Structure 1
Amino acid sequence: MTQVGEGHETAADADGPVMTFGAPTAGEVLAERYQLEEHVNDDSAGRQVWRGIDVILRRPVAVVLRYPGGEDAVEMLQAAVDASRVIHPNLVGVYDAIDEGTRSYVVREWVDGESMRELVTAEGPLDPARATAIAHSIADALAAVHATGMVHGNVHPGTTLIADDGRVVLADARADSSDSAEKDIRAVGGLLYYALTAHWPHDEVSPSALPDATRDASGNPAAPRQIRAGVPAYLDDLTMDLLDRRVATPEADALAAELGRLDAAADDDYDDVGPLRFTQGNATSEPPRNNSKIVIGVAALVVIAIIGLVFGIRAITSGGKPDPGSTTQANANGNPADGDTQAPAPTPQKIKLTPDMVRIVDPPPGDRTDSDEAKNVVDGNPDTAWETHRFNTAKFGNLKPGMGVLINLGKPRNLADVRVETSSTGVGMEIRTGNTDPGDNGAGDQKIVETYKKLGEPDADAKGDGTNRIFSVFDANTKYQYVLVWVTELPRADDGDRYQVSVNEVSVYGY
């Protein structure tokens, strides 16, 4: 397995050290104590990593050798000495650091298992619960390191080791003058992102061997929920907040506590975990990306307080009589008069959808055998879904124009957007609306196809191009009761056999 050293390259290590004479060999005993058994690999800085045996204590060790030693190895040795002072179950133990001049080496705990990098490369993205548990362990380790005033400087999928017994440990501290506690914390966001997407969102000194994140035109990584289905919203928010430099990072112990809370909630699919607690009071001067509701709410309270103060002062100065010339009166058109302070726009709220409010629309010649799966798109569980049948072509085998989910909100409402989570990318979708449900049968479904009107242009009005789409296509001055999420084109099935998609969740936001 990859034991240590597979993290990012520091500026000093970018070209790797120069390998010279005196190369170690299997069976050689270093410092009269550490016998080299097997050359495991060379790390990202060109150092050799060996499995060895401490012949005195008779325990396996990992030996990391650098050529040459001396001044070139000062940072490596100092980082090892610093790391040896912190004892924590989620940190690899450091036993020795020796400089022989022509070479130097660090002796560390040997961990039977594999690195997170190897795990994700072999298995693909991890499930959210496992990703959370790994990040929780690393945050705990960093809290112990930061408590001593030190930083780690090399939090990376290659230095995050998962032992065969399930223990998660962080290896190979490599801090230099450019590293900081903030970088350590943002790297935990990188670990979460890598675990959830199998891509690495951070820049490296030299090109990273890890697959780069999917990025927008500005170079920002796409959110995990835009890349794959089943990522809980709170975990997605936490990951992106840690990567967003506009959002201040929490202290390591606060992050560990938050991840611990999410870790404990993972068994219940993260139900009712509440807002991210450490973001409150930790934000920078620029509003955090995910705290817009908090900001709007505070602004509304401030505006209400100011208006109340104005009315109170006027009531006192006018003896309680209304001022006919007051600028708080509406003008003849019903709009606020000049000089008024207008209340902020209302914040969209998620409308609770129940199984009796949704049904599958499957026009003839559809067999309607999947009607009972409609409830799965509003149950709050991204692991359940409405799954279409398989078709020979993306256009439903040219048998019908599409299929969809009809939502009856019970009464006309002003709407903000519809959000749809699917199992795959490349799904053709649009939002349609009508005035009634003509019937849960083949004839009724055909009537819907003929009478419901498309809202907006999907390519222009839908945000997100992954498995999560947001359709902001509603007129602010119109109320809607019947909304149809209409699938017009299918992606290939996961196994490549014909065309199919699963709709995992549908959410409607309104006022």
Structure 2
Amino acid sequence: MSSFEADDLPDLSAGSFLGGRYRLDQELSHPESSLMWRAFDTKLHRPVLIHALAPHGRRTPAVLDAARRAAVATDSRFLRVLDAVVAGPGEPASWIVSEYARGKSVEELLETGPLSALEAAWIAHEIADAMAPLHAQGVFHERISPGTVLVTSTGNLKISGLLIEAALHPRPGDTSRPWPDREAADVTDIGRVLYACLVSRWPNGQGHRPSVERATTMSWGLPPAPTDAHGWLTPREVRAGVSPALDILCDQILAQVPRYNEVPLRTANEIAQSLGRTLGSADAAADLERRIRFPVGPASRLGDEPWHSDEPSEPMAPQDADQPERAEEYGPDEEGYWSPEAAAGEWGRLPGPVPWSSNNDPDTTQLTPDNWSEDDNERELAKARPHNRRWPPFLMAAVAVVMVVCLIAVGVRHSDSGASRGASQPTAVRVAHVQEFDPVEDGGDAKENDEQVKLATDGDPSTAWHTVVYRNSAKLGNLKPGVGLVVDLGQVTEITSVKVLLVGSGTTVSLWKPTHDISSGEPPMTTIKDWTRIAEESGAGTTATLKPSTRVETRHLLVYLTELPPKSAARYQGGIADIAVTGS
């Protein structure tokens, strides 16, 4: 019997108030342990989420205590606890106030089938990355599931129920479980969410051991994951087309002994780092926002493959023999990694060729080349042409005179402009060397992805150097004034402009030269104070052209980023894809 079954839950109605402040607007769920309401904070004028508890329930003190301890989670990826209130005299309930966000749970998203590889990897990475710092403090969720992970209407992730869900729905032995077991539960649950996102199946059981006796049950609206003697089948064994990299990573998390002699992943930090390397700079927030805003039904989803199961399936319609098989145009490569261009996932795929139509008349069908015949050509050629028209001789003479005068004028202007350009024609300047600029004296640590630096001058705009990810402020988390790349031109050169291709939009980028000794073979690398700014562009898009206002000669240039574009909610990251220097 649940400990709440003897407790009388409060009798609440829409429009009533708690604490004279929180107006109850809509009941969202009515589980046996609490009432969940969307409410409005009339004091701070914002929507909130309310867990209403029995005012004197046996579990109420433990749940309120859990809510207070959950308040340590200040990361924006959590639905943060704002208050926990014990029922006062005459109050119908005790309650917990949390942030409210519009969106859908992962459980709801999976109702239409698996997510794309990018979406699945990004969701699991965000959960692991958010939980890792809490694990270091001994704080564990213990109820991570598709039902406690929310995707907001802007495509960002929110984790709900930290500590509270475990207190609301206790399991035998919860209070006596040691730290390693609690951590293992969270790690396994992160792996199970990743598994579910990839194949729309749920790995039943506790820890790293599948539960055979529950093989016929459903979890989170999903059929159970199939098993063999080794444990749960890997995602690629369940559904065709799963990324090999994610298949191996999922097995590293969930298997007691991972296949292929891979190293097991047993901490949230290890999962976050592994997924971070797989994702690179890819971000699924835009994909998930489209999924929320433009939902699709199971029958209209693109690219879903049938599960490998013993259940009979409908035969597939034969493909038209005259229609070539459409090649995959998105997704990871054969090793399971994907390029930033693949970030749109299945949402970037077109359902088919666009039919031909007239530009002006929607009811007119334009003939395709296959329908065009020789008779059509003959009829077209036989159409009446307009009669030739002759211009009067005097008009032709006047036109000729005007053309001669114009040609002379254009020739003189071209000659003058050509001479002036020849005297100061800008030329491309070769970059001899590039290096990271992140001085310790300015608060840096010289760890801004140094292995990517060469990608900023390789001439390929599809590759880039990226900063690390900063939190809470676009100004590099308010940790340092900026970070950038120092370019060595090989010799003192007069600079006309520097064109920078940037990653993302909203970067503040500036151009600097050494304050002293512009001809030295070694640039100043101790602090930004040894440099002088010569150009800047704020809030730049993907391209910034930096032009010094006065004549500048130098051997070294510093391309310096002081404000970064958003990567997701409260996270910022910039990058440089190419640097092109022009001199005279």
What TM-score results when the alignment is normalised by the length of structure 2?
0.42
Larger Rg: 2
Higher relative contact order, structure no. (Cα contacts within 8 Å, ≥ 6 residues apart) = 1
What TM-score results when the alignment is normalised by the length of structure 1?
0.47
